[in-house]
């Protein structure tokens, strides 16, 4: 079995067995304190929160055996404040497509400090220092690499949440991300919810329910179909076999119908690729996890709260945002809130609404998680 199919199978299994996810072991490297320019003449009071503290760390990816050599070791930036007070709220920011650096997410993290939220900012496999030789910028060379990247990112984020739960007992965790990062955050949050006993939420921003948005959305005419059509058939067949082996007979027979943004059917090459990438759809992964859990006699983890940010003119995600909301609503604790916040603009313009939309949405998710925990009676069972 090819690496992409193996890591996909292991990613699904990480929640189906009911076994706790192992915390990531961090190897701390450089620390940097962001001291304000006037700090020398305007000293903070004794009860001031402290200065922003940036800590870099490396870790061995839980999916390392399926990755190229350069991606086996992950890296993360942790942002909190100087001082002895530990964080009680931790956001884990997953990167959007092409985010090979920490700059954008670091700005979100700095704004979140005003809400007493610490941040973990991991780098995806195949990005930044983890980019294999021969890869141009962030452009992955195959669908197999994309599946490996997404599944590896999910497993790493869940491991980071387990680390946060162990390092800061009682701290609430919210997974968040923009576009692709939001889609990965949703699945990682479900896995983390079965592992953390102090509250887990998700805050996806202009996220899609399915990777097929790359094929059916506004980017449809910007894809090198001639290159993608040369992908190994064996990988596609193996991944489809993993899905088919776990679904009920009735579900196996359901065809997946795809059309581009204009409503026109995809070509045979496009449709075949869409069928393969549908394995990463939120609904497919959740169905696999649910059925796997039933076979092990355990229940599906529930999220304590969700805040989904969508854009009214998002031509990339399209109707997949409605599908995602329906899935997330079904995954939210009945005592919790699954809110949809719709903003003006499109997919890209929403990224620039950091202060007015994204940061408040993440902060409000922590408030929703706290409300759910209170309604449930603290850390009672979900």
11-58 pLDDT tens trace: 888 777 667 889 999 999 978 887 665 555 455 544 556 889 999 999
Q: Could you please state the CATH topology (level 3) that the domain comprising 26-41+48-224+302-375 is classified under.
A: Rossmann fold (3.40.50)
pLDDT at 257: 52
Q: In sequence order, what are the residues at sequence separation of 6 or more whose Cβ sits closer than 8 angstroms to the Cβ of residue 264?
A: none
User: At 249, is the pLDDT very low, low, confident or very high (cuts 50, 70, 90)?
Assistant: very low
Q: What is the mean pLDDT of residues 315-341?
A: 90
Using one digit for the tens of pLDDT, what is the confidence trace for 123-178? 999 999 999 998 888 887 778 888 899 999 999 999 999 999 999 999 999 999 99
The per-residue pLDDT for 67 is 95
DSSP class of 221: G
Q: pTM here?
A: 0.89
* Two structure tokens written together for 161: 């949440």
- What pLDDT does residue 290 have? 82
Distance between CA atoms of residues 281 and 200, nearest Å: 21
Q: Residues 231-253: what's their mean pLDDT?
A: 66
Question: What is the structure's pLDDT at 214?
Answer: 62
What is the per-residue pLDDT across 344-361, written as a single tens digit (0 to 9) for each? 998 888 888 888 899 999
Predicted pLDDT at 253: 42
Go through the chain and tell me how many residues it has: 382
**Of all residues in the chain, what percent carry a pLDDT higher than 70?**
81
Name 178's bridge partners. Answer: 205
Please give the C-alpha separations between residue 295 and each of 21, 31, 169, in angstroms, as whole numbers. Answer: 19, 46, 31
The most confident of the ranges 79-83, 90-94, 232-236 is 90-94
Report pLDDT digits (tens) over 260-296.
555 666 666 667 677 777 787 888 888 888 877 777 7
Pairwise CA distance, residues 370 & 198, whole Å: 9
For the chain, the domains span 26-41+48-224+302-375
**Chain centroid to CA 156: how far?**
10
Assign 363 a pLDDT band (cuts: 50, 70, 90).
very high
pLDDT for position 242: 78
Q: How far is the C-alpha of 352 from the C-alpha of 346, rounded, in Å?
A: 11
Q: Is it the case that residue 303 has pLDDT exceeding 80?
A: yes
pLDDT value of residue 73: 97
Tokens of 327: 């899935």
């Amino acid at each position: 079995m090819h690496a992409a199919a193996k890591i996909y199978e292991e990613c699904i299994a990480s929640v189906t067995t009911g076994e706790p996810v192992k915390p990531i072991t961090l190897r701390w490297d450089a620390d940097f304190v962001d001291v304000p320019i006037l700090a020398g003449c305007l000293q903070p009071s004794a009860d001031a929160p402290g200065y922003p503290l940036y800590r870099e760390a490396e870790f061995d990816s839980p999916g390392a055996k399926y990755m190229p050599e350069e991606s086996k070791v992950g890296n993360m930036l942790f942002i909190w404040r100087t001082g002895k007070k530990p964080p009680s709220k931790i956001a884990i920011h997953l990167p959007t497509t092409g985010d090979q650096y920490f700059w954008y997410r670091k700005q979100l993290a700095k704004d979140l400090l005003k809400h007493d939220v610490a941040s973990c900012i991991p780098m995806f496999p195949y990005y930044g220092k983890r980019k294999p030789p021969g890869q141009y910028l962030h452009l992955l060379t195959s669908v197999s690499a994309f599946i490996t990247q997404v599944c590896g990112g999910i497993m790493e984020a869940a491991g980071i949440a387990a680390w946060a739960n162990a390092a800061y007992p009682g701290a609430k965790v919210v997974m968040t991300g923009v576009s692709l990062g939001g889609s990965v955050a949703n699945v990682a949050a479900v896995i983390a919810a079965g592992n953390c006993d102090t509250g887990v939420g998700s805050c996806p921003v202009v996220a899609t329910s399915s990777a097929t948005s790359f094929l059916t959305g506004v980017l449809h005419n910007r894809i090198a179909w001639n290159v993608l059509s040369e992908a190994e058939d064996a990988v596609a067949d193996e991944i489809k076999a993993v899905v088919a082996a776990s679904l009920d007979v009735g579900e196996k027979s359901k065809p997946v119908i795809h059309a581009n943004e204009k409503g026109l059917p995809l070509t045979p090459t496009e449709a075949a690729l869409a069928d393969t990438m549908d394995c990463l759809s939120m609904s497919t992964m959740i169905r696999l996890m649910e059925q796997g859990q039933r076979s092990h006699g355990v229940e599906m983890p529930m999220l304590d709260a969700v805040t989904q940010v969508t854009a009214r003119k998002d031509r990339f995600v399209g109707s997949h945002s409605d599908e995602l909301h329906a899935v997330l609503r079904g995954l939210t604790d009945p005592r919790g809130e699954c809110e949809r916040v719709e903003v003006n603009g499109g997919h890209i313009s929403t990224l620039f609404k950091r202060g007015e939309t994204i940061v408040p949405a993440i902060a409000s998710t922590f408030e929703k998680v706290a409300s759910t925990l209170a309604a449930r009676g603290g850390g009672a069972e979900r």
